[in-house]
Structure 1
Amino acid sequence: MAAVLVGAAAAPARASGPPAAPRDAPAAVTAVEVPPGVTAGVAVFDRQTGTFTEQLNPRLRFRSASVVKLLIALDHLWNRGPDHTLPADDRARLDAMLRASDDASASFYWAQNGGGAIVDRMVARLGLADTAGPPAGYPGYWGYTALSAADTVRIYRHLLDSAPAPVRTLVMGDLRQSARCGTDGFDQRFGIPASFERPWAVKQGWSGFGDSGNCSDLTAPTATTAADVDLTQRALHTTGTVGTGDRSIVAVFTLHPTSTSFGAAYTALGRLVRSLNVPGGVRPAGTWFGTWGSDVRVRADTNTSSTVLTRLPAGVEVLVRCQKQGRRVEVPPYVNDWWAYLPLYGGYLTNIYVRSPENRLPDVPLC
């Protein structure tokens, strides 16, 4: 079997213990805008100053959904030797798990490496305070692992400051190449990627949205709260780094009422993330608008025969950079020949599906 190096040649040994506690971390920051009905845990850590710029319920425990894939990957790569060599198929599996949030890959490692013992090992190795494996009765559900925003910052600090260079290269490289859609076909561009220009690196998590946007990593019976972690409400999380040199670590965990659509949760999380003080983050230019309709297509050009780049979650809010006239579209009783350019997707959306009283969007420049 061919072998693939995780990254470049291994760097000299580095400290593998938990990162030091940040300096002067405030207990809370009230500037965070949490939409009504949303429960949030937030931590933003500025690596340049060694301080938190935002914290809100940083130690509140959430079911991790796919964010636990960071721990699954780190555990699998632990103690691999000086060059961290991986078989080619193993490397491909890790890439799929981290870039496209592939659930089959996560389940493979979970079974191969001891299930909940993975979490126990990583808690001890990284000094995690709030993390715990799935509750009793759910041993196979890795997405039910309990995780907090504070512990997630610690995980990223280990990756960036303590992990061997080949491990950092593999994991952070994959997170920088996060796919627009997961292997289940659903949109991963919420939160950090929607709110900041590159460079960023992300590991997203979502759970409980059924066919409307769930990653299917948590296909389990509806459960009540177990081990103080809510397994019932819909979960949407965005975590990663923002800015040149991975200046800021951002961890935002959210829970939404069970009636919330994926698009509505996507929008609420985006508004929360845009309210944060994230040093090094550059906000994309444009204006945010609501949309309506389902299975709405974003196309490569301003006509209905051009390539479909993606489909929007129903009712999601979108960033419009500019607009121009194109092919006339009719969705009775509406008719419109204006198209909005969405920089997040690199394509156009007919203005018919943009919530605005006029065909031409107000205060949006021409492309």
Structure 2
Amino acid sequence: MPWHHRPCAPRRHGALPAIAALFVLLGALPAGTAAASPASHRAPGSVVEATAAGRTDARTVPDIPAGTTAGVAVYDRKTSRFTELHDPERQFRSASLVKLLLALDVLGDDGPAALPEADRVRLTAMLRSSDDAAAGHYWTTRGGSALVTRTASRLGLTGTAPPPASHPGHWGHTATTAADTVRVYRHILDTAPAPVRTFMVDALHSATRCGNDGFDQYFGIPSAFDGPRAVKQGWSGFTSGGCTAAPAARAVPKPTPATAPDTRVASLDLVSEALHTTGTVGPDDRTVVAVLTLHPDGTPYGTAYGKVTRLTDSLDVPGAVRPAGTRFGTWGSGVRVRAAAHTGSAHLTTLPAGVEVLVGCRRRGERVTVPPYTNDWWAYLPQYGGWITQIYISSPADKLPGVPDCP
């Protein structure tokens, strides 16, 4: 069944009992008694601080797809309120989200002007295209786990910790939370020196569809919302993601010396597939969105891609603009997106196997046969800027229902 796009998610407020339970869970007090809790016990920009001051309109149960474990935090910088919270302090392995910490540590207070050109190029690739070689370089040259510890301390992160002692050299096993991810973005946007902020935000605003390892990194925020947006994605455990770059194994840095076991990550899930979408949405980076997810081991990348996008699309995100069109599932692997409605046109990219796509309109083009199917209708995918034959769209009809003809 197609997942039909709806124009805008209504603003929804959690029931009072749910919000009360959240106060208890986070150790926060209602607004009327906030003074009884010392400010020193609340990290700046934290979920606890926000709820203790009464600045939350958050739901506590967003639309989590079946089989998905999620931590969610959505923070509206314009109103200083959380609009969505779900298990925001749950720890996940960060995958490539740790690259935000690596970049902040390298940039320091002086920003990119103080760095050699090679570092500026390396950092840009790490932030825009999730370059693993760059992350491995900085992990080994800047102290590995010690980098995580000092950056977490500097930013007041309460759920971020180095990788477990069993995996000391695996930077992607750094633990983090949705709440901490919001804190990181708020630091970049509101606290970091202007040169640091400009460099990082510009890179995240220009994130590429294809990661340097061949994975399509436009799930979640980039698929759910039109621009302006800035994104840093994370994925771990999957085998293939499509895109025109040849998929490659994720770089594993040389191990750093083991340290004493860190009890804060003793229960970190290193088996389930991880897929995270984080960033900002809306003019002036209005809303910070952090959606961290785990999926059962063996989940196909396209399946997780669709689930994370659906979850992100369901959230109350002030300032968001959702794209027009209708979403459909696809089947097959290696499905190519073409520049025009015929197989002789340029190959733009390759879809992750089984991913959902947003269809803007349809047009007759080259007649394509993939036994036992034949179809001359093509679907235009506005978020890819190209076409696929409708043979690979999961619909019983040759002409997709509810989709207009292209002009």
Q: TM-score scaled by structure 1?
A: 0.90
Partner of 1:139: helix, strand, or coil?
A: coil
Q: CA deviation at 1:122?
A: 0.9
C-alpha distance in structure 2 between counterparts of 1:96 and 1:25, whole Å: 36
- Residue 89 of structure 1 is matched in structure 2 by 118
Q: CA deviation at 1:227?
A: 1.6
Aligned residues: 346
2:354 alignment partner AA = G
Which of 40, 59, 66 does residue 70 from structure 2 map onto? 40
**Counterpart check, 1:183 vs 2:201:** no
Cα pair 1:207 1:216 within 8 Å, conserved: no
- Residue 236 of structure 2 is matched in structure 1 by 207
**Counterpart check, 1:194 vs 2:233:** no
2:119 alignment partner AA = D
Q: 1:25 to 1:135 in 2, by over 3 A?
A: farther
Q: CA deviation at 1:42?
A: 0.2
Q: CA deviation at 1:140?
A: 1.0
- Residue 54 of structure 1 is matched in structure 2 by 84
C-alpha distance in structure 2 between counterparts of 1:77 and 1:162, whole Å: 14
* Structure 1 outlier segments of 4+, above 6 Å: none
- Residue 368 of structure 2 is matched in structure 1 by 329
TM-superposition CA deviations, 1:42-99 (whole Å, max 9, x none): 0000000000000000000000000110000001111337x74221111000011000
Which of 247, 271, 293 does residue 232 from structure 1 map onto? 271
Q: CA deviation at 1:19?
A: 4.5
Structure 2 unaligned runs (5+)?
Answer: 1-42, 254-263
- Residue 313 of structure 2 is matched in structure 1 by 274
| Residue pairs, 1:69-218, within 5 angstroms | 69-80=99-110, 84-211=113-240, 216-217=249-250
Cα pair 1:263 1:315 within 8 Å, conserved: yes
Q: CA deviation at 1:18?
A: 4.7
Cα pair 2:89 2:159 within 8 Å, conserved: yes
User: What is the RMSD computed on CA atoms of the aligned residues?
Assistant: 1.9
Q: CA deviation at 1:315?
A: 0.5
C-alpha distance in structure 1 between counterparts of 2:240 and 2:338, whole Å: 23
Q: 1:282 to 1:185 in 2, by over 3 A?
A: same
- Residue 301 of structure 1 is matched in structure 2 by 340
Q: CA deviation at 1:317?
A: 0.6
1:173 alignment partner AA = D
Which of 45, 49, 59 does residue 29 from structure 1 map onto? 59
Cα pair 1:26 1:55 within 8 Å, conserved: no
TM-superposition CA deviations, 1:277-330 (whole Å, max 9, x none): 000000000001000000100111000011111101111111001111111111
- Residue 340 of structure 1 is matched in structure 2 by 379
C-alpha distance in structure 2 between counterparts of 1:254 and 1:234, whole Å: 8
C-alpha distance in structure 2 between counterparts of 1:28 and 1:280, whole Å: 16
Q: CA deviation at 1:212?
A: 5.2
Q: 1:218 to 1:244 in 2, by over 3 A?
A: same
Q: CA deviation at 1:217?
A: 3.8
Partner of 2:115: helix, strand, or coil?
A: strand
C-alpha distance in structure 2 between counterparts of 1:340 and 1:192, whole Å: 22
Percent identity, aligned pairs only, is 59
C-alpha distance in structure 1 between counterparts of 2:248 and 2:164, whole Å: 20
Cα pair 2:95 2:236 within 8 Å, conserved: yes
**Counterpart check, 1:355 vs 2:394:** yes
C-alpha distance in structure 2 between counterparts of 1:218 and 1:133, whole Å: 18
Q: TM-score scaled by structure 2?
A: 0.82
- Residue 286 of structure 2 is matched in structure 1 by 247
Q: 1:101 to 1:28 in 2, by over 3 A?
A: same
2:267 alignment partner AA = D
- Residue 265 of structure 1 is matched in structure 2 by 304
